[in-house]
């Protein structure tokens, strides 16, 4: 399938979601009050059973991200609106597509898809996280998390998503000059990260970014 053919439906969906979610803002307030969006998509599997299962797990991730954002918005960002927008897509967007989609916006894009069966046939969910301008001290704005969801790794997968969400929110707070709020979010992200083996998940870069941001800001 050509890039254009893949890009078109994704861009249309993204445009519709943006139109639904972002209200016109007064120019003077635009920077502070433009909502920060978390797009949580799941890639439609071919069969109905897998589709239902993946949606269930995405529901779990959505709840966790919602709670992370909710705690941040009530205690850290009184003036910033956050939105969690869910969708189902036929294919995960590619990196260039995500760059185009997120250009000029402040958002986190998470696409969950079913991976190949892991050990003992356990279901694997692959989460592609794109932080864009909210990457902070991460070298790359793109993180791939690939874990079994039928074992103890399930907790690691959802906690890793929470860490990345909190880190993105911390970077947004930092951008807005809300350093104490940024530090609180970094502390929260670091605390969640301590409970998961980021090294085994090949997410060392996340630990390093958390430590570096903490050193520089707090």
Partner 1 sequence: MNLRALAALAATLIAWPTFGSAGEAMPRKTLRSPSTAVVATTGDEPNVLVAVPNLPEGELGVQIAALFNLQVWRTLRRAPTPPGVSFGSATAIWSHPEDPTVSTAQAADDVAERLAAQMVLWGVAHRYGDGVVVDMNLTIADEAVRRRRPSAAEWSIQIEDRRLSLMLPEGVYSFAPVVLSQRSVQTYSSPSALQLCQARRLPCRGPRVEGGMEAKLHDGPWSRVKLKRNDQIGWIYVPPLENRPDPADFTSGMVCYYRGDFIRAAEFFERVAASPASGELIRSEAAALHVAALARSAGDDVPNALLRYRGQNLESLKLHQAAVMYYLARWRALALEAARPVIGDQPPPPAGLLSDEALGAAAHHFRATAAYLDRDDPWRKGVERIMRSQNFAPPLWFRLPQRNSASSP
Q: Which residues bind partner 1 (CB under 8 A)?
A: 56, 59-60, 63-64, 66-67, 70-71, 74-75, 150, 154-155, 159, 178-181, 183-184, 186-192, 194-195, 210-211, 213-215, 217-218
Least distance in Å: CB of 1 to partner 1?
35
CB 132 within 8 Å of CB 101: no
Closer residue to partner 1 (CB): 12 or 117: 117
Six-digit token string for 118: 């892991």
Closer residue to partner 1 (CB): 7 or 183: 183
Look at the block and give the residue holding tokens 């502390």.
187
CB 164 within 8 Å of CB 109: no
Closest CA to 82 of 42, 34, 41: 34
Least distance in Å: CB of 25 to partner 1?
23
Closer residue to partner 1 (CB): 106 or 174: 174
Least distance in Å: CB of 5 to partner 1?
36
Strands 36-43 and 107-114: parallel
Least distance in Å: CB of 17 to partner 1?
19
CB 40 within 8 Å of CB 84: yes
Partners of 145 in the beta sheet?
127
Look at the block and give the residue holding tokens 């927008």.
85
Least distance in Å: CB of 217 to partner 1?
8
Closer residue to partner 1 (CB): 102 or 213: 213
């Amino acid at each position: 399938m050509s890039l254009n053919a893949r890009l078109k439906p994704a861009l249309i969906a993204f445009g519709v979601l943006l139109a639904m979610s972002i209200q016109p803002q007064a120019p003077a307030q635009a920077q502070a009050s433009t909502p920060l969006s978390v797009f949580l998509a799941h890639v439609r599997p071919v069969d109905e059973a897998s589709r239902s299962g993946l949606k269930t797990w995405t529901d779990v991730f959505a709840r966790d991200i919602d709670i992370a954002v909710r705690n941040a918005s009530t205690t850290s960002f009184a003036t910033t609106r956050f939105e969690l927008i869910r969708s189902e897509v036929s294919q995960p967007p590619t990196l260039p597509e995500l760059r185009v989609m997120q250009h000029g916006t402040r958002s986190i894009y998470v696409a969950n898809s079913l991976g190949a069966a892991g050990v003992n046939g356990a279901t694997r969910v692959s989460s592609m996280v794109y932080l864009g301008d909210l990457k902070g001290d991460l070298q790359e704005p793109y993180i791939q998390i690939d874990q079994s969801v039928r074992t103890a790794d399930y907790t690691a997968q959802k906690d890793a998503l929470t860490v990345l969400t909190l880190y993105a929110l911390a970077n947004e707070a930092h951008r807005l000059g809300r350093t104490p709020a940024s530090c609180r979010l970094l502390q929260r992200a670091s605390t969640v990260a301590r409970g998961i083996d980021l090294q085994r998940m090949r997410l060392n870069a996340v630990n390093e970014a958390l430590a570096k941001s903490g050193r520089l800001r707090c």
